[in-house]
Amino acid sequence: MFGGGSFTLFRIRGIKIGVDWSWFLVLFFVIFWMSGSYGELLDEPSYATAPFLLAVASAVGFFGAIVLHELGHAFVAMRNGIGITSIQLWIFGGMARMDRESDSPATEAKVALAGPAVTLAIVVILTAIGVGAAGWTAFSEAALTEGSRSDVSGVLAMVAWLAMINFLILVFNLIPAFPMDGGRVARAIAWWRTGDRTAATRFAANLGRVLAYAIMAGGLALIFVGDVFAGVWLALIGMVINGSARGAAMQTAISGRIDSLSVADVMDREPVAIPGDLSVERALDEYFLRYQWPWFPVVDAAHRFVGLLERDRADEVPEVSRASSNVADLIDPDQGLFIRDDTPLDSLLSNQNLRKLGALMAVDADGRLSGVITVEQVGRALRDATSQ
């Protein structure tokens, strides 16, 4: 996302938590900055054990708050049938990568507000802990002033800082600048009022660009008054928001050309599917060897889509067991591998599973397999629309 590679830290409920190399710049800065602050508070050198450990704990707490914020988005999205491929952390925060767009304004609003709701809960909990331990006056002083001017302990100073930084994250994310959370809420409201997702996205993206220019102007103003670091940081954030909003506006302009098409209009209506009660031996002989495809959709007796069978998974079954093993036994149901055939085609432009697999299974209202739509078919529809 920032031009560098990333690697996986851990997984939560199957969601990969990945980190871009740029995130370590934030961690280093937080530890360096907070070590000095805690050193002044404790009247110790910044490199002493206590200030350093408090700084590391602050950085971990900050990191954890961002992860929890994104998990809020992720869990609500999954509850609404939207798959999450990963959560990516980078220098300007985090992003939960969804495999498709929301299908209604209500879902869009719920997913967008879930992250800020988690952050608000963190602020409330930390504030309650701090006020309960030191009283409102001491805690607010620690949160609003430098730690060196506070009489609270190092631990409570850390709690106060985490409460304040999460409050700032909450306020910043609610700015109605698409694709930030506030911008997505603005899109949901516009979508609800107009009934047109494309027009709503265009409105939110344009609003995001206007606010991004305002943020960049604020950054330049800070630079001119001497606060160079804060000014440069704010200007960079504005540039990132502007770039994301501009990309969303361009995608909307493209998707607007195919907003009258559905998946059913371009899909292959005669997909080759393997019955779930077929033996693995017959599946290999009659399908994989015959067609030489890497995977096939699997259906039950009522022709409902139940999952995808890949060649490698079938090959893993020992030869002596292939005749007695059914295809259905090898299927791991994955809700992200199929889509309703009446889904607007433009919603597939950001579908991560379509990009990863190269195709999605299309099902009717009863879950029966009605077709297969591929990346090539979506691309052809786009080319045909833009050439008109």
Residue 183 and residue 167 share a domain: no
Question: At residue 188, does pLDDT exceed 90?
Answer: yes
Domain boundary among 154, 174, 194: 174
Residue 84 in contact with residue 94, Cβ under 8 Å? Answer: no
Give residue 272's pLDDT: 92
Residue 138 and residue 36 share a domain: yes
Give residue 3's pLDDT: 42
Share of the chain above pLDDT 90, in %: 32
Phi (first) and psi of residue 215, to 5 degrees: -65, -45
Q: What is the end-to-end Cα distance of the chain in Å, rounded?
A: 33
Residue 286 and residue 157 share a domain: no
Domain boundary among 259, 275, 291: 259
Residue 22 and residue 152 share a domain: yes
How confident is the prediction for the chain on average, in pLDDT? 84
Half-sphere exposure of residue 121, counting CA atoms within 13 Å on the CB side?
11
Q: Stretch 255-263: mean pLDDT, rounded?
A: 74
Residue 307 in contact with residue 331, Cβ under 8 Å? Answer: yes
**222-236: per-residue pLDDT in tens?**
889 887 877 887 888
Please count the other Cβ atoms lying within 10 Å of the Cβ belonging to residue 103.
16
Cα–Cα distance between 176 and 183 in angstroms, integer?
4
**329-370: per-residue pLDDT in tens?**
888 765 568 888 888 887 777 777 788 888 999 999 888 999
Sorted by sequence, the CB contacts under 8 Å of residue 107 that are 6+ apart come out as 80, 82
55-69, 147-161, 312-326: least confident range: 147-161
Sorted by sequence, the CB contacts under 8 Å of residue 114 that are 6+ apart come out as 72, 73, 75, 76, 77
Domain housing 234? 179-259
Question: At residue 1, does pLDDT exceed 50?
Answer: no
Residue 350 and residue 334 share a domain: yes
Share of the chain above pLDDT 70, in %: 91
Give residue 6's pLDDT: 65
More confident residue, 313 or 250: 313
Question: At residue 4, does pLDDT exceed 90?
Answer: no
Please tell me whether the overall predicted TM-score, pTM, comes out greater than 0.75 for this model: no
Of the pLDDT bands very low, low, confident and very high (cuts 50, 70, 90), residue 2 is very low
Residue 38 and residue 143 share a domain: yes
Phi (first) and psi of residue 271, to 5 degrees: -75, 145
Give residue 126's pLDDT: 93
Question: At residue 166, does pLDDT exceed 70?
Answer: yes
Half-sphere exposure of residue 309, counting CA atoms within 13 Å on the CB side?
30
Residue 232 and residue 271 share a domain: no
Sorted by sequence, the CB contacts under 8 Å of residue 144 that are 6+ apart come out as 164
Which residue, among 208, 8, 202, has the nearest Cα to 88 in the 3D structure? 8
Question: At residue 147, does pLDDT exceed 50?
Answer: no
Residue 45 and residue 120 share a domain: yes
